[in-house]
Each structure stands twice: as structure tokens, then as C-alpha cells.
Amino acid sequence: MSFIKKISCLLVVFLVFVNLSSRESIASNGETTLKEAIDIGFQRAKEWNVNATLTKVTSVDETMGGSRGEAGKRFNWSLFFVVPGTDDYVLIGISEKKIWLFRPDKQSQDRTIPYDEIKLDSSDVLQLAKDKYGLKPGKDWATGYHFTLDSIDGKPILTVVGNDRGNRFTRISFNAQNGDVVSAIHKLPYGGGLISKRIGTDNLTKKGRAITGVVAGNKNLVVWGDKKPTQFSTTKQPFIEWSPNNGETWTELQANNHVTHAWFDRNDQLYAATEKELWTGITSKSKGTKILSLEHMIENIDYSINNHIAVISNRKIYYSTNQGESWEQAIVPKPFYVVQISDNGDLVVLTEERKILQKTNDRWNEIIMPNSNDVPNDIKVINNRLFITTQSEIWTRNLQKGNWRKIKVDEVVVKFIKKGERLFGYTRGEAIYSISTKEERKSEKVFDAGDSIVMDVDIMGDTLWIATIPNYSWEEMTIQKRR
């Protein structure tokens, strides 16, 4: 196994024990360095088996305040010991200098780390990483500084994890015997931006941004996302922009928070949802009018052609059949995660058990698939017609008449993207298909994603607009002088 893969596997371990406590203001005197944690764990491991030998150590993310690794210390650590020559193994969890977890088990042997080979501590390698590479504390994920110790190629390798000066995820590994750098890598973004595709030509604008959504009206185009995304956040510098001329010029719009969804009604009036609010009438001169404010996050949202609106928040559906002037609530009898609303105001949901339920006249009824072996991947409602994509095909059903038909597509569609009366499908092969919603004709492939991570798509005239976000890959770092 390569060095990078081995370190990657080790970093996954400390996420298994994330958020052991929700306390925010604990004094840092309960923190320990890596070697101090080993001393605490070794005593208990020797009581378990006198031949217990260390095999790996990792710090654990938490929300307990303290220094978050600033001095090479953390509240929580996970230590792994084995008995050489056997399959005996024990996991020991340490929190605030006390053992909170002791879990013996059986597993195949890992390479051991003799205690006397660990010459450097977490505080030592942190200072080296700061001096050589200007390492900063992590944000959004693996907060602060984190530390792992493992045996790789027969050497004790002590790794410190944080961010580089550009706030990109970084890990720097040292030989714990002598402090030599054995690896310094960070995740750099590639891709991201807004792709406009016409026949024979592709153009990329807003390069490097996380474009999480795009919507085309009759004459206007709107995109939203993050100007400075990181691997673990696309809400650092949120934006929403408006173009009245097919993307030639853009005007930034006002928004109270990062936008999660937006659409135009038939009159080209813009609606936008943020984390807990829904706004309408947004223009370059006005942030519009708030028509819905909720205590909990908006998890899913849908709108019909005549602009009925349905929202999922905290396991409830809030829906309006009068452009958001008034709202009603609906309780679904089973756990669900997708809601759709028809032009007639009927609600359709996809449950966590992959069942489709339709609410008509205050009753929920299950819609039975014509093929009992089909399991829905996703659903959309356009006008009064339900579209269902499964592992084998796409089905469509008139919600009033109940008749079914199939839609031909060359690949399995795993996700629908609905834009007014238009429907797109995203395939496992990372292609975008335009799916006919009115005629019985074969769907057409309109875009091959390739290395792009597609988040959204819409079409205006002869131009297809594709919203993409950056991907990230490990790259070697060069030694940087401290500023």
C-alpha cells in the first residue's frame, strides 16, 4: 500500500469518534500531547496484556473548546494496541486524561511501534510544520490541528493535519525518530465554474468558483454558489448573480444568507431560498420580500408550473397554493426526504423506504410501481405528471388518470434536475440527458461531465448552462518560509 493511501486510511479513523462532547468552554488543562496520551493508554493496555504493543494513535475531533491542538495537545485520543504473534487487539479512547473507552477485539496484525522509537511528540512536529510550511489550524472539518502516529515502511511516522496559507486541507508527515520530513501534501482545487455549451463550443466562466445552482427565466439568467470554496465548505463567500443578456454581464444580488435554491415564475419574478427563509421579487435594486421563515433548515423545496410551493423542514411539509401568501402544513405518515407539488396542489413524496406517496384530499395513498422490481432513485412532478427514475428505466404517470408509460434513455439516470417544464437526468456515467416531458420520444444526451462535478443545469435558447464545483487532488508542497 502506498504511503499516501496508508495515511489516508489512518485519517479516517479519527472521524469515527467525532463529537464526543458538545461542551464549548472547557479549560484546556484536560488536554494532552500524543506521547502523554500514549503513557495513559499504555498503563491500561499492559493491565489487559503484559505484551501489549502500540500500533497507531490518532487525535479525535471534538467541540470541547480548549486549544484544539494549538500547542500539540488535544482532549481526545484513540490508541490501538496489539499482542504480537496473536490476533488480539484493543482500542482505548482517552478524553481529558481519562480512559472512556476500552474495547478488545480480534483483527489481523498491524505493524507495531516500539515506544523507544518515538523521539518526537505532537508539539514538536507541529512547530516544525509551522516553521517549514506555515501550517495553520483546520476549519470546517478536522478543526484545529490533528495528529496521527503510525508505522509505515517500518518507521514511526507522526503526521500533523491542518490548513495551508490558502486554507487548503494539508497533512505533513515526519519521521518520529529524527524529525525528517517524509511527506508534505495539500489538496488543491481543480475545475469549478459555469459552463455554457452551444453547438460545437464550450465556454467556462467564473473559473474556480463553486457554482451550486443555475436557473434561466424568459430573458434572465441567475447563478449562485461560493466565490472562495474549500474542500469542506461552499458557504464561505456566498453570492447570487443576475444576467439580463445571456451571461455577457452580471450583477450581484442581495441575499441575507447563502442561496440554496432559486427559480423564476412565468412572469420572470425571481424566488430564492436560503437556509431557513424563502424570498420573492429579488432584483438588482431590492432584496425582495420574505414570504416564509422557519425555525429549522429547509431540506428540500419544489414548485409547480403555476407556482405552488412545497418545502420540507424538520420532518414537516409547508406548502402554499397562492404564491406564498399563506401556508399550510402536512404531516407525512412515514419518514421521507423528497417532496413534489403538482399544478393541482397535490403533494407527492419519496420515503426513506423508497415508497411513493401521494396526498389528495387530506389522504396519503401509495403509488404502486407497474413493475414490482423497480425501486425509485428519484421523482419529479411537472404539471400533473409524475416522473420516476429507477435502476432500469424511467417511468411517467398521469397523477389524475393513473396511466403509465416508459421513457427511453441509453443510461441509468440516478438523479433528476427539474427546471420549470424542462427535465434533465444525471447518469452514473456522469452524463446529462434532456428528458422529454410532453412527447413519447427518446431522451437526448446534452453533456458529458467528464472530470466536472455537475451541481445543476438549465437551458436558455440554444445555450445549455452547467453549474459545477471544484474537485480536489493531493499535490506535493514545497517548503515555505514563515512570514
Contact 170, 232 (CB under 8 A): no
Does 13 score more than 90 pLDDT?
Answer: no
Paired strand residues for 468: 193, 454
Closest CA to 328 of 336, 338, 340, 319: 319
Closest CA to 14 of 55, 54, 76, 58: 58
What is the spatial order of strands in the sheet that 356-360 belongs to?
A: 336-341, 347-351, 356-360, 363-367
Distance (Å, whole) CA 286 – CA 476: 46
Closest CA to 103 of 10, 12, 16: 16
Q: Is residue 184 part of a domain?
A: no
Does 419 score more than 70 pLDDT?
Answer: yes
Domain total in the chain: 2
Strands (E), 372-450: 376-382, 385-390, 394-398, 404-407, 413-419, 422-427, 431-435, 444-448
According to the 3-state scheme, what is the secondary structure of 215-284?
A: EECCCCEEEEEECCCECCECCCCEEEEEECCCCCCCEECCCCCCCCEEEECCCCCEEEECCCEEEECCCC
Domain that holds residue 270: 189-473
Does 481 score more than 60 pLDDT?
Answer: no
| The predicted structure's pLDDT at residue 482 | 46
How many degrees, rounded to 5, is the angle at CA 472 between CA 469 and CA 474? 175
Q: Is residue 150 part of a domain?
A: yes
Closest CA to 389 of 409, 372, 359: 409
Contact 277, 235 (CB under 8 A): no
Q: Is residue 480 part of a domain?
A: no
pLDDT, tens only, 123-157: 999 999 999 999 999 988 888 999 999 999 999 99
| The predicted structure's pLDDT at residue 480 | 61
Q: Is residue 38 part of a domain?
A: yes
Paired strand residues for 470: 191
Distance (Å, whole) CA 252 – CA 263: 16
Q: How large a percentage of the chain has pLDDT more than 90?
A: 74
Q: Is residue 359 part of a domain?
A: yes
- Unique residue bearing C-alpha cell 514511526: 156
Does 18 score more than 80 pLDDT?
Answer: no
Entry pTM:
0.82
Write the CATH number for 292.
2.130.10.10
Residues 201 and 332 in one domain: yes
Residues 164 and 210 in one domain: no
The residue out of 136, 151, 179 marking a domain boundary is 179
Helices (H) and strands (E) in the chain, counts: 3, 35
